[in-house]
Amino acid sequence: MAHILIVEARFYDHLNDLLLAGARAAIEAAGHSHETLTVPGALEVPGAIALADESGDYDAFVALGVVIRGETYHFEIVCNESARGIMDLTLSGLAIGNGILTVENEAQALARAEKEQLDKGGGAAAAALAMLDLRTRFVS
């Protein structure tokens, strides 16, 4: 049984609740345990994963959050840099599923977060578990 850390950037509570429900359901359905860590925003997610990995307590990670385009260039920075940080950690060998939604509006976020629709929280958890399987196959 693997122990998974869900790291969520809790900015839009109602949307994050949907993503979390999907991730937790997918992890539990696969027979694994999980914990949740909340950080201020999407930019903090990769750093929190890197710090948590140093503990050795977690086998894989799920990154969750919602970034909705605003009126400034900040959207691009948050989206690009959080994704880059997660990809850097993945390339260093961590098993991470990226469920940080980067959308134009709340309707797009709802469609992606709701379990009955695209269930991106569950999808991110499934991706983390798939990467854990690959790491176990190739590294162990």
Write the pLDDT tens digit of every residue in 40-56. 999 999 999 999 999 99
Q: Domain coordinates of the chain in residue numbers?
A: 15-134
Query: Helix, strand or coil for residue 114?
Result: coil
Rounded-to-integer distance, Cα 18 and Cα 27, Å: 14
Question: Which residues contribute to the annotated binding site for (2S)-2-hydroxy-3-oxobutyl phosphate?
Answer: 71-72, 112
Report field, pTM of the whole predicted structure over 0.95:
yes
Write the pLDDT tens digit of every residue in 94-115. 999 999 999 999 999 999 999 9
Homologous superfamily (CATH) of 15-134 is: Lumazine/riboflavin synthase (3.40.50.960)
Query: Where does 30-138 show beta strands of DSSP type E?
Result: 33-39, 60-68, 96-103
Distance, first Cα to last Cα, the chain: 16
Report the alpha-carbon angle 64-83-80, nearest 5: 120
Residue 73: pLDDT band by 50, 70, 90 thresholds?
confident
Question: Which residues contribute to the annotated binding site?
Answer: 11, 42-44, 66-68, 71-72, 98, 112
Q: What is the pLDDT of residue 19?
A: 98
Amino acid in the structure at residue 26: A
Query: Helix, strand or coil for residue 36?
Result: strand
